[in-house]
Amino acid sequence: MLRVTFNKSHRGTTQRVTYLCTKIICSNHSTLCNKTARRQNYEEYGKQTQGQHLQDGFLNPLKNGRFGWYVPPSRNYGMLVVRILRGALKLRYIVLGGAIGGGVSLSKKYEEWKDGLPDMKWLEDVLPQGEKWSNFSKKLMEVGGVMKDVVQIAKDDIKSKASVSALGLSNDDSRKKYENLQSQVETLQTEIMNVQIKYQKELEKMERENRELRQQYLILKTNKKTTVKKIKKSLIDMYSEVLDELSGYDTSYSMADHLPRVVVVGDQSSGKTSVLESIAKARIFPRGSGEMMTRAPVKVTLAEGPYHVAQFRDSDREYDLNKESDLSELRREVELRMRASVRGGKTVSNEVISMTVKGPGLQRMVLVDLPGIISTMTVDMAADTKDSIHQMTKHYMSNPNAIILCIQDGSVDAERSNVTDLVMQCDPLGRRTIFVLTKVDLAEELADPDRIRKILSGKLFPMKALGYYAVVTGRGRKDDSIDAIRQYEEDFFKNSKLFHRRGVIMPHQVTSRNLSLAVSDRFWKMVRETIEQQADAFKATRFNLETEWKNNFPRLRESGRDELFDKAKGEILDEVVTLSQISAKKWEEALNEKLWDKLSNYVFENIYLPAAQSDSFNTMVDIKLRQWAEQALPAKSVEAGWEALQNEFIHLMEKAKKSPDHDDIFDNLKAAVVDEAIRRHSWEDKAIDMLRVIQLNTLEDRFVHDKTEWDQAVKFLETSVKSKLAHTEETLNEMLGPGQFTRITHWKSLTEDQSKRRYVKTELDKVLKNDDKHLPTLSYDELTTVRKNLQRDGIEVDTDYIRQTWFPVYRRHFLKQALHRANDCRKAYYLYSQQGAECEISCSDVVLFWRIQQVIKVTSNALRQQVINREARRLDKEIKEVLDEFSDDEEKKAQLLTGKRVTLAEELIKVRHIQEKLEEFINSLNQEK
């Protein structure tokens, strides 16, 4: 260490340089100096330079192997060296001070941490101390020496191919030593095992305390976060959602099979479900005596949480796993879902049932429980059950990143196992297989220890595995809790001579707890190794889909079915709103037209024509009108109003199609929604009673009040009669065939029936010509005369044939007469107003149509008010209900919203969504690391 002190005077003329050499280290290989020479030089120099003032110089300790003097060419260089040394010295003291302060702080932290450690004094009672430890060590060394001798003797004995018994006979001392050694080894194994068991109990006690503290912490954390923002999802929840999204993306998409999960496979009744329940720490699956209970894959996501609860992916209900009632309901729901997934006579299903189990201390992982592999089918199973289970199991195990939890029943012969061969086919090198031997409590009683040793060391089966574990998953009692099962498992491994004293298996290879730790560790290791590779693959898929979209739909934004449905829903509801913007005049015109279209046939056939046959026209009209108003008219009016509302709504939708912004992708959906809403809609019942009263009161008025109404009635009569007349002419044309001019110009001819009809019509015209006011029906004599006249011309027809021809012929005759009367009555209002019913010109039919016209007017006005005030809103409500139902029905939306634009957008949106979830999961995973 070299310390240099510089003092400078105010005038800068004198410098004092004092050198204090406290230690000089010289290399052993240096030829310039040695320690003795340097010590002598240092003493001489101290004597010579003590108290002297040197000007502009400094000591060079390495010049010519001894201390000497060197004068620098300039003072600036010396000052630079001085500044550098001074800064270095300051830095040294700063570092020294920080180190001292840090040491004091670290000492305090250590004392605080040591106070928080659990009491480990119990180890002093277990582990030997002082002389006991020395004696214990000596005994171990002696045992080691003896073991070395025994091993050497065994080697010599093997070389000479002598038996163990021969060894004992030839060397009594070695045999005694071997026996003593064996007893000491067993004693030591028992002592060590007892220590391990005691340590394990203390460790479990600390874990329980940690679990309770963790639960309290999570509860406080949850309560705190819920008041501020939504709780952040755990890593395992995020990963489980990614798997669910991939499963829903495409059942045949192989990318979903490349993400890690733990696949639980085994023979039926081998204890697969029990192992999963032991890991989940809850009896969450239904039980059956020899019956296949697992009929569909069950994906169980294990996560840490403050409460021990379970929840299905598609449900908001949480089941408290600490309550037996909730556990029973959960098992019942699992069974119902499994049975519901099996359709069409199948025994097993590929439909995945997803559920999440959370609780303090649970290992985070995703497990898939599959139906057990069977070798024989029963009569109640489908014919393809065995093959279906094999294919399903292979599908899940073929995932190169799936961890295979191979469950082997220890209570049955190993040769009866079907699962090991299947696992070996999918994972021949055993790089992702973990072997689990269940029911080892029964195996201890039934099996040979050497055979169990071979199984758990991986030497019995040709199948290879990462690890081998032995567990006890119950005593065969359905009502045992997980705590009782775990206690039974602990007691078994504690007292089992097979596992403890005979060294069949190591302690870390037993208990469900060690198994869950190993599986979880392997699961997350595989997740970290593969997740980014899968995310990159989805990036490439997304790029390809986006490129295809830009090439096919460059000006459109990719919208999925949900977004398109929402857009169509808005358009439909907007069109419903436009119903309220229709003017009252337009509503009345539409209702008037629809009412007369509905009522005209009844008016002509049941009122007008029958009354015309009667001698007292007005009396018959009054009777017919009253009967009509009391019975059929109100209901027909409501029906007409509903059809008018429907027509106007459809008209608005058709009008919207002509808009430049119309998108024809919604047409099928809109039509289906409107049809369903119209099918459900019904007019209010009280509307019929209200209309009946209004219509009866209106029909009581039999007098036309002014000339305007008279003219309107005459016009209404003429229009209605002309419409009926045109319809009657069409009927006659079809019956009689085309006229002569049409036949010539269009090269058409008459049929035999049409020729007969023409002959019959000619005879009927003669009847009407002889009696201009003929009744609507033919008498028997008239029918006979017409038939005989036709026979004279060689035409044979019966009376029904004549009546069929008479009906349209008479209808045309009557309607033409009605038009003449309407024309005559057009200017007869003055006579009618003066003479009333006694008018010289018979205008009763005009009055009839005026009364009907008034009924239609008041009815359409009442219906219009009902439409605007109530029915349009009710229709709007029903359309919303239909839309809400359709929005929850994915099959319905897929059926009504079709086309490449929809399917490509759906695929792109799903891929983008999955990629975002993958990236979110990767970011959280990296943050946790």
- The lowest-confidence range among 673-682, 726-735, 797-806 is 673-682
Q: What's the average model confidence in pLDDT over 146-167?
A: 46
Looking at per-residue confidence, does 318 or 306 come out higher?
318
pLDDT tens digits along 447-494:
677 777 778 777 777 788 888 888 888 776 767 788 888 888 888 877
Asked if the model's pLDDT at residue 309 lies above 50, the reply is: yes
pLDDT band at 350 (very low <50, low <70, confident <90, very high): confident
- E-strand ranges in 717-826 read none
Of 641, 643, 646, 602, nearest in space to 625 by CA:
602
pLDDT, tens digit (0-9, with 9 covering 90-100), for 104-145: 454 554 455 445 444 545 445 544 555 554 555 555 555 555
Mean per-residue pLDDT, 717-725: 91
User: Which one-letter amino acid corresponds to residue 138?
Assistant: K
Q: Of 287, 268, 493, nearest to 385 (Cα)? A: 268
> For residue 423, what are the CA distances in angstroms to 205, 414, 463, 465, 468?
37, 14, 7, 10, 14
pLDDT value at residue 42: 40
Q: What is the pLDDT of residues 77-109, one digit of tens each?
A: 455 555 655 555 554 444 444 444 445 454 554
pLDDT band at 223 (very low <50, low <70, confident <90, very high): low
pLDDT score for 55 = 38
Q: Name the average pLDDT for the chain.
A: 75
Mean pLDDT of 310-334: 88
- Specify the range with the lowest mean pLDDT, choosing from 181-190, 345-354, 892-901: 181-190
> What ranges make up the beta strands (E) of 380-507?
403-409, 433-438, 467-470
Under a CB-based contact definition with an 8 Å cutoff, are residues 399 and 261 in contact? Answer: yes
Asked if residue 891 has pLDDT above 60, the reply is yes
- The two three-digit tokens of residue 791, written as one number: 């026979």
* Residue 909: per-residue pLDDT: 87
Query: Does the pLDDT value for residue 164 go beyond 60?
Result: no
What class has domain 260-536? Answer: alpha beta
Q: Whole-angstrom Cα distance, residue 206 to residue 119?
A: 11
Task: Tell how far CA 477 is from the center of its chain.
Answer: 36
pLDDT over 70, % of the chain: 70
pLDDT higher than 90, residue 924:
no
Of the ranges 151-155, 220-224, 258-262, which one carries the lowest mean pLDDT score?
Answer: 151-155
pLDDT at 16 over 70: no
Strands 353-359 and 298-304: parallel
Residue 903 scores a pLDDT above 70? yes
Give the Å distances, CA to CA, from 19 to 4, 10, 52.
6, 22, 11
**Given pLDDT bands bounded at 50, 70 and 90, which one contains residue 26?**
very low
Stronger pLDDT, 460 or 503, i.e. the higher one: 460
Whether pLDDT at 739 is above 90: no
Q: What are the Cα distances from residue 884, in Å, to 316, 564, 673, 878, 904? A: 20, 14, 10, 10, 25
- Looking at residue 919, its pLDDT comes to 86
Q: Rounded to an integer, what distance in angstroms lies between the CA atom of residue 845 and that of residue 852?
A: 11
> Is the pLDDT confidence value at 162 over 60?
no
In this predicted structure, what is the pLDDT of residue 716? 92
Look at phi and psi of residue 898 and say left if phi exceeds 0, alpha if psi is from -120 to 50, else beta. beta
pLDDT at 694 (0 to 100):
92
The 10s digit of each residue's pLDDT in 509-544 is: 788 888 888 888 888 888 888 888 888 888 888 899
In tens, the pLDDT along 591-614 reads: 999 999 989 999 988 998 888 877
- What is the pLDDT at residue 343? 73
**pLDDT for residue 198 is more than 50:** yes
pLDDT at 861: 92
Cα torsion 400, 402, 403, 407: sign = negative
User: Dihedral sign, CA of 623, 629, 631, 636?
Assistant: positive
Question: Is the predicted pLDDT of residue 214 greater than 90, yes or no?
Answer: no
Predicted local confidence at residue 212, as pLDDT: 63
What residues does each domain of the chain span?
A: 260-536, 574-886
pLDDT band at residue 854 under the 50/70/90 scheme: very high
- Between 731 and 829, the higher pLDDT residue: 731
Question: Which residue type occupies 490?
Answer: E
